[in-house]
Amino acid sequence: MSNYFYILWIPLLPLATFVILGLFGRKYLSAIAGLLGTASLFSSTVLSFVAANQYFFVDGKVNGVFQKIVAFKFTWLEFSPNVSIDLGMIIDPISVMMLVVVTSVSLMVHVFSLGYMKGEERFATYYAFLSLFTFSMLGLILSSNIFQVYMFWELVGVSSFLLISYYFNKPSAVAASKKAFIVTRFADLGFLIGILILGFYGGTLDIGLLIERFTSVNSAQYISITGASFLGASMLTWGLTLLFIGGAGKSAMFPLHIWLPDAMEGPTPVSALIHAATMVVAGVYLVARMFPIFSMDEAALHIVTYVGAASALFAAVIACTQTDIKRVLAYSTMSQIGYMMFALGISKNGGEAGLGYMASMFHLFTHAFFKSLLFLGAGAVIHMVHSNEMKDMGGLRKLMPITHIAFLIACLAIAGIPPFAGFFSKEEILTAAFHENKIIYGIALFTAALTSFYMFRLYFNIFWSKEAPAANHAQADHGQEAHASHGEGPWVMKLPLLILAACAVGVGFVPFSQLVTSDGKALETHIDIVFSIAPVVLSVLAILLAARFYKNQNGRSDKMAAAFGGLYTAAYKKFYVDEVYIFITKKIVFPFIGQPIAWADRNIVDGFMLLLAKITANISESIKGLQSGKVQNYALYFFGGVAALSILFIYIWK
């Protein structure tokens, strides 16, 4: 226990930074706010790597199995001897892996922001919000109690709201933050109900105890929750499904994805933080954390599988049509999260059957680095041309050679081209899908090809094609300075790109199956060269197709869009899901639910309270005359009351 007590400082350092910058940043520490926030995250990152080294290579494994270690634990609220809420920190393979991912990516965002956000009026506030968000995510992944998870889960929602609405004077940013907050609140309601169901039948909120009780088919808790049913499904299925709904909201799974593209209104480094390794993978982490229980219910796993697969394909199709580079990356994130979800859904708990679990966590790990690289690269491009639209870009490889190479590496990684990181993790997912569900494998293979196409469509439109007016304008504006720095900003913006590019190449060689598995035991995996031919060939063909259409402005892309006709239009309009939500809200929810409730609130609730107030006022008006100030009147009232009570007790009360 004491060996890992220092882990407490990993989330506390960002929290301390938030408090300091929140109270004193704008007035006293504006000049050093960025350096203070970055130094704090650097310390947390170092401690995370120390913890990873200690756990994975020193004392985390006992008899060949990685242990779950509770670093510390104390009772926060005790309702009865059998019902209490404990707070603690759990150390196991996925929490340690997530510590490294969250702190590393957040550190890169902090460093990049030193250059990207320089000169912003609310610079200190920005770093305060970044620190709060990082603290929230770190608290979430270390929580040993499911209610503790929920508290940090909501704090992640609040801090993401603050970051998305950072440009609060921009109406679209305000609307996007409210949309993200409201949509995820509906999902979080499901999460809360799921927690209550599992806690009620499990008799505890401790994650370890819940897993122990619900994975033993002979336990009273398992028999109780599987024996109870509602609408033909067991309460275990309902509890897990509601838990997944909470995760689906945070991870932007269909149909709760509508907040994700609009969240791009926040600063681009924020997009890298939210969409790479933190907020959007919270749902995947939740399912993985509770996976032993999910593995006990086939119906819940089927929901996870097919929602994940549908989201992956749906988002990939939309990404092929979008013109805003940040929206392309947003839908790409949704698609890759779908990959992680269905990999969990097709997995079992333990042994070779747990390949899907390992593959999902491996893809979460690799995706964090190349997706944050893509977003930060997009940020450098936007910083250069002052636009998010592809039409304003083109030919930027000459002005931005470092960004160009880094972005290309990230595109190759997400496309699954060997030897880049995405190849190894995606290969494991495809292998697991092939052995468990051929339909899911087919969807995954087609989605992988679409991923390669839309990512290189993005790459060629930005860095090749015909030089756009905005790029020429930026070059003219920068003049000699642009030539000296290649238009890529200061070194604090280039350094994270170089580090993440190295990670996008190297992290695929991490022996992940030896470290993070569903049962804590090492899993022997290998790359099947023959099996790899199909996905790699499809990805290469998709890249060549993208090059043919988008490397040069030849009009072929417009002809292709016209050939698909209504399908292309529907995909560009995101299949009108937003419009459906607006229709339901305005035509059904508002008139048939909202307005009747508002009428009842105004006329019944408020009316009753107003009536009560009026009656009280009238009574007080009537009796205030009794306060005459005359002692003889008070004496008369007193003796009259005594006489009345005497009569009551003598003649009436028996």
pLDDT higher than 60, residue 350:
yes
Tell me what pLDDT residue 97 has.
93
CA 182 and chain centroid, separation: 14
Tell me what pLDDT residue 482 has.
39
Tell me what pLDDT residue 479 has.
43
CA distance 115 to 424: 33
User: Which residues, at least 6 apart from 10, have a Cβ–Cβ distance to it below 8 Å?
Assistant: 44, 47, 48, 51, 99, 103, 138, 142
* Better-scored residue on pLDDT, 266 or 548: 548
User: Which residues, at least 6 apart from 352, have a Cβ–Cβ distance to it below 8 Å?
Assistant: 523
How many beta carbons lie within 10 A of that of residue 263, not counting itself? 25
Token pair belonging to 549: 């259409």
- Least confident window among 256-270, 283-297, 346-360, 617-631: 617-631
CA distance 189 to 192: 5
Q: What is the 3-state secondary structure (H, E, C) of 232-255?
A: CEEHHHHHHHHHHHHHHHHCCCCC
* Better-scored residue on pLDDT, 264 or 62: 62
Q: Which residues pair with 75 in a beta bridge?
A: 86
Tell me what pLDDT residue 430 has.
92
Q: In this structure, are residues 261 and 330 in contact, taking their beta carbons and an 8 Å threshold? A: yes
- Following CA atoms 40, 46, 47, 50 in sequence, which dihedral angle do they give, to the nearest 10 degrees? 180
Tell me what pLDDT residue 135 has.
94
How many beta carbons lie within 10 A of that of residue 606, not counting itself? 11
Q: Interior CA angle at 340 toward 494 and 194, to 5°?
A: 120
CA distance 126 to 131: 9
The label of the residue with tokens 């030897």 reads 419
pLDDT in tens, 464-480: 877 655 555 455 444 43
Q: Which amino acid is at 80?
A: S
pLDDT in tens, 309-337: 999 999 999 999 998 898 899 899 999 99
Tell me what pLDDT residue 268 has.
81
Tell me what pLDDT residue 628 has.
67
Tell me what pLDDT residue 486 has.
44
Tell me what pLDDT residue 457 has.
92
Residue 483: pLDDT band with limits 50, 70, 90: very low
CA distance 365 to 357: 12
Tell me what pLDDT residue 69 has.
87
Percent of the chain with pLDDT over 90: 38
Residue 52: pLDDT band with limits 50, 70, 90: very high
Which of 153, 186, 364, 345 minimizes the C-alpha distance to 258?
186
Residue 82: pLDDT band with limits 50, 70, 90: low
pLDDT higher than 90, residue 561:
no
* Better-scored residue on pLDDT, 87 or 81: 87
pLDDT in tens, 537-554: 999 999 999 988 888 877
Tell me what pLDDT residue 485 has.
42
Token pair belonging to 605: 């609730």
pLDDT higher than 90, residue 624:
no
CA distance 500 to 511: 19
Mean pLDDT, the chain, integer: 86
Token pair belonging to 120: 């912003």
CA distance 441 to 430: 6
Q: Distance between the two ends of the chain, CA-based, in angstroms? A: 70
The label of the residue with tokens 């509890």 reads 239
Token pair belonging to 506: 């190297």
Which of 406, 308, 446 minimizes the C-alpha distance to 364?
308
If you compute the radius of gyration of the chain from its CA atoms, what whole number of angstroms results? 29
pLDDT in tens, 159-173: 888 888 888 888 888
How many beta carbons lie within 10 A of that of residue 401, not counting itself? 14
* Better-scored residue on pLDDT, 372 or 272: 372
Length of the chain: 654
Tell me what pLDDT residue 569 has.
85
User: Which residues, at least 6 apart from 546, have a Cβ–Cβ distance to it below 8 Å?
Assistant: 452, 453, 454, 456, 457, 459, 460
How many alpha carbons lie under 13 Å from residue 141 in its C-beta half-sphere?
31
pLDDT in tens, 140-152: 999 988 999 999 9
Percent of the chain with pLDDT over 70: 94
Tell me what pLDDT residue 654 has.
55
How many alpha carbons lie under 13 Å from residue 555 in its C-beta half-sphere?
0
Backbone torsions φ then ψ of 323, nearest 5 degrees: -110, -15
Tell me what pLDDT residue 277 has.
60
The label of the residue with tokens 């940013």 reads 173
